Amino acid sequence: MLLKEKKTWALPYSAVTPKADYLNRRDILKAMGMAAAAGTGLAMGFRPSGARAAGKALEYRKTGYSVDEPLTDRELATQYNNFYEFTTSKEAVVAEARDFNTSPWTVKVSGLADKTGTYDLADLIDYNALEERIYRFRCVETWSMIVPWIGVPLADVVKKLGPQPGAKYVRFQTLVDEEQMPGLNRINIPWPYQEGLRMDEAMNALPLLTVGMYGEILPNQNGAPIRLIVPWKYGFKSIKSIVGLHFTDQEPKTTWNILAPNEYGFYANVNPDVSHPRWSQSSERRLGAGLFDGREDTLFMNGYADEVVSLYDGMDLKKHY
């Protein structure tokens, strides 16, 4: 339903940004010196059953989750991505992931939950309850975009799985398929890619288990068939092509924190006052911004502080970065 109270993110739905030149962003893995790399309305359309094909429209309802900025052009948002399981090239990932088979797709639920087991995607996600949320998306590499994601609240799925009282965290895992994902054999990362959230973060209203964007099924290169979007955190927390959820009482090891713990913390909250060791996080560039448009100031918690800052009461956010 539409939110009646105007929040920092609940602003008018915006028009699409015209196509324009944009700057390539820094390749983190290269900089690290690693091998080869670091219910108001209903939109009618396709409801997945069997094969899931990018470019198919989804049924979903629009919500009041929006921002006061234009959407990033769809072509930019779907053709400039990090997905190292395929390649370190942000522009080449479309071609590398084109033949990625996402059907059938299952997600294994394990650990401290009442309803563990292996779920078909359609059993885990209620495709009758899809909603669109327009969120800011901020990469640690200091580029950003505005995207209309389609999915269901992570909290709803977590509740359905019945986490036990001892569950303090949920860990997510990406598919490992060497035949389909050439980057697995080229890039020196401890696969599988893993991410995690504290349970109160996972139960916040904002995180979205996402199956679509721009009104259509999620493209392969953007994390098909299911990815996580956590809008107040840097993009690497929004794990793609999820095949595992594990409920645990221990803070999970996460891929970038394993690779460079002094650079990438577990929390990864967007914070303009906490610089990356090799670059400032105080500003960012929107994909699609012209060469002379300058940079924008980065918002604390990516503009979602009102909704999430209480999760970190009493924490030193420079220490727990």
**Which residues does the annotation place in the binding site?**
81, 84-85, 139, 174, 222, 227, 238-240
Residues 6 or more apart in contact with residue 59 via CB below 8 angstroms: 42, 43, 44, 45, 46, 47, 127, 128, 130
- Give the 3-state DSSP-derived string for 80-97, with helices as H, strands as E and coil as C: CCCECCCECCCCCHHHHC
Residues making up the annotated binding site for Mo-molybdopterin are 81, 84-85, 139, 174, 222, 227, 238-240
For 86, 118, 140, 231, the CA distances from 255, given in Å and listed in that order, are 16, 23, 14, 19
Residues 293, 295, 300, CA angle at the centre, nearest 5°?
A: 145
**Phi, psi dihedral angles at 32 (to 5 degrees):** -80, -10
Contact, 231 vs 135, CB < 8 A?
Answer: yes
